[in-house]
C-alpha cells in the first residue's frame, strides 16, 4: 500500500471534560497541539469502523489538552467517544526529514540482511525508552530489530519496498 490512503494514529480520546461535551485528548503529535492542525479526524472504536469529524477545536487545559467536536454538545454524547483512537490521513502530514520515517511508511517493507537473507516484512514499529523497534514477521517467526540507523538498519528504500539490516537471521 502506498502512503496515499494510509491512516496514521495521532492520538486517543481519554476522558470527559465538563458538561458541554468537551473531551480530554492524548496527542502523540509533536508538539501535542499540532493534532488540531490535521483535519478531518477519523475516529475509530474498532478496526473497520471510522467516523470522520471536521472542524475540531482544542486548547490546553492544565497539563493536558481538551477538544470540542462539532455535534457533541453534552457529556452523555461525549462519553460514547471515550477510548476511540484518532487517525488522520498520511498525506496530511508534512514530509519527514532526511533519514526520518513515519512508522506507517515502514509497515509492509520487505526486510533482508546485508547478505540478502529475507527475514520477512515489517508488521509494525513500537517505541522503547532507548530506541524504536521494528517488528518483522515471516509467517513462522517474529523478530524484534532495533531501528538504529547505521548500526542495525543499513538502508531503507521506501520506493523499492525494502529495508536492509545487519542482523543474524538465527537471532
What are the structural domain ranges in the chain? 7-91, 103-165
* pLDDT tier at 73, thresholds 50, 70, 90: very high
CA distances from 35 to 38, 68, 105, 161 (A): 6, 13, 19, 29
- Quick one: pLDDT at residue 1? 41
Element (H, E) at 145: strand 142-146
Domains 7-91 and 103-165 share a fold: no
CATH classification number, 103-165, choose in 3.50.50.60, 2.60.40.1120, 2.30.30.240, 3.30.465.10: 2.30.30.240
- The dihedral over CA atoms of 100, 103, 104, 110, expressed in degrees to the nearest 10, equals 90
* pLDDT tier at 2, thresholds 50, 70, 90: very low
- Rounded to two decimals, the pTM is 0.78
CA angle 16, 20, 26 (to 5 degrees): 30
State in words which class domain 7-91 has. Answer: mainly beta
- Say whether the peptide bond before residue 7 is cis (omega within 30 degrees of 0): no
Rounded Cα distance between 171 and 156, Å, is 21
Q: What is the DSSP string of 24-69?
A: EEEE-SSSGGGGGGS-SEEEESSTT--EEE---EEEEETTEEEEE-
Q: What is the pLDDT of residues 145-157, one digit of tens each?
A: 999 999 999 999 9
- Quick one: pLDDT at residue 90? 92
Q: What is the pLDDT of residues 122-146, one digit of tens each?
A: 999 999 988 999 999 998 899 999 9
Amino acid at each position: 500500500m502506498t502512503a496515499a490512503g494510509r491512516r496514521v494514529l495521532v492520538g486517543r480520546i481519554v476522558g470527559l471534560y465538563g458538561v458541554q461535551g468537551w473531551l480530554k485528548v492524548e496527542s502523540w503529535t509533536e508538539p501535542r497541539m499540532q493534532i488540531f492542525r490535521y483535519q478531518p479526524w477519523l475516529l475509530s472504536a474498532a478496526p473497520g469502523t471510522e467516523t470522520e469529524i471536521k472542524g475540531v477545536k482544542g486548547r490546553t487545559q492544565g497539563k493536558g489538552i481538551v477538544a470540542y467536536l462539532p455535534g457533541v454538545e453534552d457529556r452523555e454524547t461525549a462519553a460514547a467517544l471515550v477510548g476511540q483512537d484518532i487517525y488522520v490521513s498520511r498525506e496530511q502530514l508534512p514530509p519527514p526529514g532526511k533519514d526520518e520515517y513515519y512508522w506507517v511508511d515502514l509497515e509492509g517493507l520487505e526486510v533482508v540482511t546485508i547478505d540478502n537473507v529475507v527475514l520477512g516484512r515489517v508488521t509494525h514499529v513500537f517505541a522503547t525508552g532507548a530506541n524504536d523497534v521494528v517488528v518483522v514477521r515471516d509467517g513462522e517467526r517474529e523478530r524484534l530489530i532495533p531501528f538504529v540507523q547505521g548500526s542495525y538498519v543499513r538502508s531503507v528504500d521506501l520506493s523499492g519496498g525494502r529495508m536492509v539490516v545487519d542482523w543474524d537471521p538465527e537471532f
